[in-house]
Chains A and B, each alone.
Chain A
Amino acid sequence: MTSILEFDEDVEMFRSVVSRFNAEVVAPQVEKMDEEEHIDPSIISALFETGLMAVETPEEYGGAGASFTAAVAIVEELAKCDPSVSVLNDVHNTLVNTCVRKWGSDYIKETYLPQLSTDKLGAFALSEPSAGSDAFALRTRARKMSDGDFVIEGGKMWITNGAEAEIFVVFANAEPEKGYRGITAFVVEKSWGVKVVKKEKKLGIRASSTAVLAFDEVRVPKQNVLGIYGQGYKIAIECLNEGRIGIAAQMTGLAQGAFDRAVSYVFNDRQQFGKYVGEFQGMQFQIAQIASEIEAARLLLYNAARIKEAGGEFVKEAAMAKLIGSQVAEKTASKAVEWMGGVGFTRDETVEKFYRDAKIGAIYEGTSNIQLQTIARLIQKQYTLR
């Protein structure tokens, strides 16, 4: 076997497509979108046209039918240019498409996968004002009507893609007296009455929308129950376990993007005391340290992806990849700003944005504390003899 970072030809070809996509479609808009805190709709439609929004979706539903590793590699590659575009893609592919593909009935798959492959953006609506890390404390209710349909009532918060999405995977409790066993997942169309109440103003990934949603008596047909009634908690856990690998990919790509920009600058642009600043040993050792940490983050990432793809138990590895990925991203972006000095601190340069964007990695799809808890729980289980 060779390196875990050696990819099959599909993945390499996809990376080339994304690399050109980044340079021609995304890069010219990154600064503007960050300032305006809004993703340009042309980028979303270009992502769809290029097939980047249906990576794992089977061909018969309009997707590429490619691997999980391919989906993750695309998230990584997009993040090198803009972590906001990357997370939009990540949530759509690794959470929404995956939930629908894995748990949806034939009706749901036939109805929604082609739309999610063509032009309708998806969002994953789990978190609520009082249900973040404790996701199953959710208060959104699904009331069963006499004809079997449901009426959803409640609110969601921190919903990535919330402002632009047209298809939502929504978690609501249909039988609160049963506790988390009442939680059920639904596929809900925006046109049925999902309201975007607020778009958050954020520190980073500002072009990616984070929305507060209101469900005011939203009627959902019974055939839109996703998976088994009362097993929404299971769907949420499984999707998020997998989703963590996506965020690890976003963070690894972010780190690489910041590193590429800053290292190119110190070796080619900035001279002091008669030589390029990258030639000073003080700089070289820092660069070597960060390069090694990015490599470590990437190895954790693709190790988790490989185990997941082979059908193995990957929860610990995914949590580790996300934990370390977010730490490395933050550290790398911080160093990149320092390496570029005053220029790096200005908004004319992308590293300042990478630094702001990195912070979310320790928060969403399970905070770093939740990752640590997950890892610790599995270690305890492994070592406890009784």
Chain B
Amino acid sequence: MPPRLNIVVPVKRVIDFAIKPRINASKNAIETNGVKFSLNPFCEIAVEEAVRLRESSKDLVESITLVSAGSAKAQDTLRSGLALGADKATLIEIPAIDDSKSLELEPLAVAKLLKAFVKKSNANLVIMGKQAIDDDSNQTGQMLAGLLNWSQATNASKVTVDEASGVVTVSREVDGGTETLSAPLPLVITTDLRLNTPRYTKLQDIMKAKKKKTEKVSPEDLGVDISSRLEILSLSEPPKRTGGGKVDSVDALIGKLKELGAI
């Protein structure tokens, strides 16, 4: 009998997907003052997938633990995930993050923190978003698998677990088709957009999430150095599009295109 799944789902608090990001006054970060934050959509998909695995078979999942590295405000993000159905949550509190600092945690630092946490919590499966919608790095999952020396299946669009063997099968959308991987536990899976559509959180579950266990640890507790290795020199908006002209006829259009050397 293979071991039951102890799933860790790392989640990140990001600027809400509906907000138009703006660059701050010092041109080195995205403005975060007075901006709405939410659970990163890919992370939400990861939590949903963990909960669906639990619902798919009675004895398959032992525990679903959320973990987030960030400021105390990430507690809200953890609560969103708990309301979706996770059992407990840990905040790795990073007190140094402030708005004037050019860079938050880098993917490698997060991966190291997660490695320490995953080891400590005896997990055998990590399901996490393929990327966060703020910096779109798409690195942490891969780095984590490398640091743990576990198998990895990135950009998952379908996940199934064979209960008898404990082998996980993951489909991933690649250029020109679907690739199917299978791997034994332990494993890191990163989630793509089409893996699932997260459920509506019920109000009752939001209230119940308050009573679930949440603990805090520090990077020192985990023995991880999170100092930055990268520096953002500047951020700039994409160049503004300049308006085009109108032409009256197909001939005029062809003439214009020729004039511009496009044909």
In the complex, whether A265 has a CB less than 8 A from a CB of chain B is: no
In the complex, whether B203 has a CB less than 8 A from a CB of chain A is: yes
In the complex, whether B206 has a CB less than 8 A from a CB of chain A is: yes
Mask, A12-56, CB within 8 Å of B = 1, is 111011001100000000000000000000000010011110110
Contact between chains at B206 and A64 (CB < 8 Å) = yes
Partner of B207, one of A46, A50, A66: A66
Q: Which of B47-55, B57-65, B75-83, B134-142 faces chain A?
A: B75-83
Of residues 169 through 228 on chain B, the ones whose CB sits less than 8 Å from some CB of chain A are: 200-208
Contact between chains at A17 and B204 (CB < 8 Å) = no
Partner of A51, one of B38, B76, B80, B202: B202
Please, how many residues of chain A have a CB less than 8 angstroms from a CB on the other chain? 22
Residues of B within 8 A of A62 (CB): 204
Beyond A9-B76, A13-B83, is A63–B200 a contact (Cβ under 8 Å)? no
In the complex, whether A59 has a CB less than 8 A from a CB of chain B is: yes
Contact between chains at B80 and A49 (CB < 8 Å) = no
Contact between chains at B200 and A49 (CB < 8 Å) = yes
Cα–Cα, bound, A49→B203 (Å): 9
Of residues 99 through 124 on chain B, the ones whose CB sits less than 8 Å from some CB of chain A are: none
* Interface majority SS (helix, strand, loop, mixed), chain A: helix
In the complex, whether A65 has a CB less than 8 A from a CB of chain B is: yes
Beyond A9-B76, A9-B79, is A16–B203 a contact (Cβ under 8 Å)? no
Residues of B within 8 A of A238 (CB): none
In the complex, whether A10 has a CB less than 8 A from a CB of chain B is: yes
Residues of B within 8 A of A21 (CB): 200
Residues of B within 8 A of A17 (CB): 200-201, 203, 206
Partner of B79, one of A13, A20, A46, A54: A13
Contact between chains at B202 and A50 (CB < 8 Å) = yes
Contact between chains at B204 and A51 (CB < 8 Å) = yes
Residues of A within 8 A of B206 (CB): 10, 13-14, 17, 64
Closest to A17 in B: B201
Closest to A25 in B: B200
Cα–Cα, bound, A13→B209 (Å): 12
Residues of B within 8 A of A52 (CB): 203
Cα–Cα, bound, A52→B201 (Å): 11
Beyond A9-B79, A13-B79, is A64–B204 a contact (Cβ under 8 Å)? yes
Residues of B whose CB lies within 8 Å of any CB of A are 38, 76, 79-80, 83, 200-208
Q: What are 14 A-B pairs at a CB distance below 8 A? A: A9-B79, A13-B76, A13-B83, A14-B206, A17-B200, A17-B203, A17-B206, A20-B200, A46-B200, A50-B200, A51-B202, A51-B203, A55-B203, A62-B204
18 additional A-B pairs beyond A10-B206, A49-B200, A51-B204, beta carbons within 8 Å, are A9-B76, A12-B76, A13-B79, A13-B83, A13-B206, A17-B203, A17-B206, A49-B202, A51-B202, A52-B203, A59-B204, A59-B207, A62-B204, A63-B204, A64-B202, A64-B204, A65-B207, A66-B203
